[in-house]
A = this chain, B = another copy of it.
């Protein structure tokens, strides 16, 4: 059933009032904002309660939104806020000179998001499976060489290998061509023991050299597949009134701090058309998040990679403000990483893609 205009107005006012003050909203406070008497408001509110959009903490308190109420607000009622000049400028400035490597960038983005929204934030980038595109072996001295692997996602990993015995330049060259022949174009799962064994035979390797380089390769590929998830600003939770209870705060914080749990709750799909997704209270799968809400935004990280940033907070979250900020940051990241916009600066002019480093 469709809500009357006035009910919508009341619901919106309750949600926004509660977001602002963290106190149940009473009928008197709304009377003048809506333009009718408190008694009317009361009637309307009690209907909203029976429809499931509002709740009463106890008989003689004001109303607070139910999860369904928040949902309706987010889906239909909320006006998307615009960022202030200052906020937009701050974000731009932070993102401007970021030709850092991806892992470090994610950490910074997490911090930025957290400080802009005043909630704990996380940031990660999903990567498609990768393979090695080419190997290079750099001979340093009789006991040392470097393996450099260029991956299909254009990141570069390397490893310095120090040997307790000596090798010749030629041996390294042989190793190099064997690895380029046998270990390129395959994912980590496709590197089997038998391939390693046969390469070892071909190289006449009795020292386990092949095994070392192969395990380095597997490591690189596995690491490249794993998304580095960064969490920042956990302590922001403590400034929210609903987490003044240290036990609650502790429970949620330790849940958040270990990002791996958060991942489980990320539906890879399910983002709205605007790249935003809001999960309210009980909609969250994880038990620890049943009283909290998560807002996340996705961005284009280039090369078919997709990234996500999000914040975690109480259900009484400033959805509108957070959504606006996340969108803005996500858009900036898309521009930066997918290069849909030409970044300025010498580095950026020349270096379109920057290496990642050996896992």
Contact = CB atoms under 8 A, between A and B. Distances in A.
B154 A156 contact: no
A234 B257 contact: yes
B350 A164 contact: yes
Number of copies: 2
A316 interface: no
A244 B247 CA distance: 9
A161 interface: yes
Contacts of A164: 349-350, 352
B353 A160 contact: yes
B136 A138 contact: yes
Contacts of A209: 350
B349 A158 contact: no
A347 interface: yes
Interface stretch (A185-193, A248-256, A289-297): A248-256
Interface in A156-175: 156-164
Contacts of A155: 160
A171 to B, nearest CB: 14
A134 interface: yes
Interface string A190-226: 0000000000000000011101100100000000000
Contacts of A353: 160, 162
A338 interface: no
Contacts of A162: 154, 350-353
A100 B162 CA distance: 15
A346 interface: yes
Contact of A146 (B148, B257, B358): B148
A208 B350 contact: yes
Given A159-B355, A162-B352, A355-B160, A346 B250 contact: no
Given A146-B148, A257-B234, A101 B346 contact: no
A235 interface: yes
A239 B212 CA distance: 44
Contacts of A358: 101, 156, 158, 355-357
Contacts of A134: 140
A138 B146 contact: no
A212 B101 contact: no
A162 B158 CA distance: 18
